[in-house]
Chains A and B, each alone.
Chain A
Amino acid sequence: MTKILFTLFLINKSGVVFFSVTPAMALKGWIEGDESADEMLSRLLTEGSPFFFLPPLHRLPLRVGNVLELVGPSTSAKTQILIQAAISCILPKEWNGVHYGGLGRLVIFLDLDCRFDVSCLAQLLKHRIMEANGLSSKEHREQQLGDLLNCDAKRQPNMFYDEELFAVCMRRFLYVRCYESFEFLTTLKTLHYRLRRESEAHGISVYCLLIDSIGAFHWVDRACRPLPMGGDNRKSLSLLGVSETVVQEVSNLLLLHPMVVIATRTTILGDKSSANEVPW
């Protein structure tokens, strides 16, 4: 509780500082177009809690527009973190009186590793739903202690809603696989139109873009160094060209669809040239 208050205080303070320091001459029109600190606060509060409550992401004040990279060796549960984040995103805040504490938004999963196991996601989602329901059915059972019939009747509707809720949540999880850099780039290029279509179809917007293993094609792209044809202006599908285009596309996308981007990257074991790891 104190942590949240402290962060809000920071936003408030920074809002005030911003508006008092900037000179009002040529930028006046530009400044007036933005929202005031008060409006920004109310927007952030109504957007729902931007914090993912599951460790280790709960320590980060993730907000839309942030790009987070999870780096680690091969079996350090990075994809698990992505799956948990996805589940927090697709679960609704409340459903039929049961509190799930999710965000109720769409999630896009770009699988570059092609190792995604959907049954793992389904299992974890069911577990989360049953966990939230288990508490409420327990309360019901305590309320109606001597009345077995009532208990059964109350429990059955919960199980029925589980199925429906499960289906609704699974439909909010959008998945695409990329087997090479070119497919990755084409997916990113057409992502904007896809997101628009999906948002209209579901009525909710995307909150999260999850990329599993952004370095998946690193070695392949590094090995393919096609000769640049037709002058200097022409880019090629080399490592540099692909990386630049990916960064450009993601930043363009974030301007149109404000969302959180989380990408994983595998460090190669025993590679002495890998970056220093910040102790978590």
Chain B
Amino acid sequence: MAPLKSLELEYPIIDVNFQNFCASHAIFSVEDFVLHDLYQLAAFAEQQPTSERLKEGITQVLNIIDNLHQPWLNGLELLEDSLQNKQVLSTGFEGVDLLLQGGLREGQLTELVGPSSSGKTQFCLQTAANVAVKNMGYVAYLDTGNSFSPQRIAHFAGQISESAFNQTKQKIIQKAMSSILCHSVFDIFSMFDVLRQLEFDLRSQMDRGEYRVPLLIVDSISSLISPVLGGSGSQGIDP
């Protein structure tokens, strides 16, 4: 976190005097500022000879802190944003689409929880195939247990594509398969790497908008997290 010294250049009110005052209360960085009781600090500042300047400094740091959280929205802005920017992705299963009122929503995390061999991987493969065939963009598939099967994807894509002609069907299947980007990750750090790279790619292409990744599938996240948390497997995370 930024030490207070580094803010002196940009905000001259955070001068050496202010920094010394903060240091006397064990505040060396913005993080310490956030953890400290500011009313108490202001009360101490009152007792100092340069109280006005110190209080201005505290207000300035508060303004800096105000930029360090997510923006405030009201209900109407939220609703407009969700209607305009967030699409609904059909999963390919009618029953599930009915339950989810249309399908998977962009901007939302959908967790699929269940015991082993309950069809979760098949669901993921079918959804990936559906999104790929319907040309909604690329699908990022993070596979932690070697369960990704291209044969199944081809089978699902063939089922979904409505063309009767073999050649066009093959083309559709090929196009769909090339829009599914599969990464094998076996520990949480490589997953972070993949996600960071994805974020970087999306951010750098935002102006052109051709590289769209509406769906990110992680199969399965519990095998990445349970080694980190440790303890017995009954910590509530089912595979």
Contacts and interface: CB of A to CB of B under 8 A. Distances in A.
Interface in A173-202: 173-179, 182-187, 189-190, 193-194
A71 interface: no
Contact of A245 (B34, B82, B234, B235): B34
A122 to B, nearest CB: 5
Nearest to A167: B76
A180 to B, nearest CB: 10
A233 B23 CA distance: 11
Contact of A183 (B25, B70, B82, B234): B70
Interface centre among B31, B36, B62, B66 (most CB of A within 10 A): B31
B164 interface: no
Interface string A228-244: 00110111110001100
Nearest to B113: A74
A153 to B, nearest CB: 29
Contacts of A231: 26
A194 B67 CA distance: 12
A269 interface: yes
B26 A234 contact: yes
Given A115-B108, A173-B75, A182-B31, A187 B235 contact: no
Contact of B34 (A114, A115, A186, A234): A186
A270 B37 contact: no
A178 B69 contact: yes
A219 interface: yes
29 contacts: A90-B75, A115-B108, A117-B105, A122-B79, A171-B74, A174-B73, A174-B75, A176-B70, A182-B34, A185-B34, A186-B65, A186-B66, A187-B70, A189-B65, A190-B65, A190-B69, A194-B72, A219-B229, A223-B228, A230-B26, A233-B26, A234-B26, A235-B36, A236-B35, A237-B31, A237-B35, A248-B37, A270-B236, A271-B234
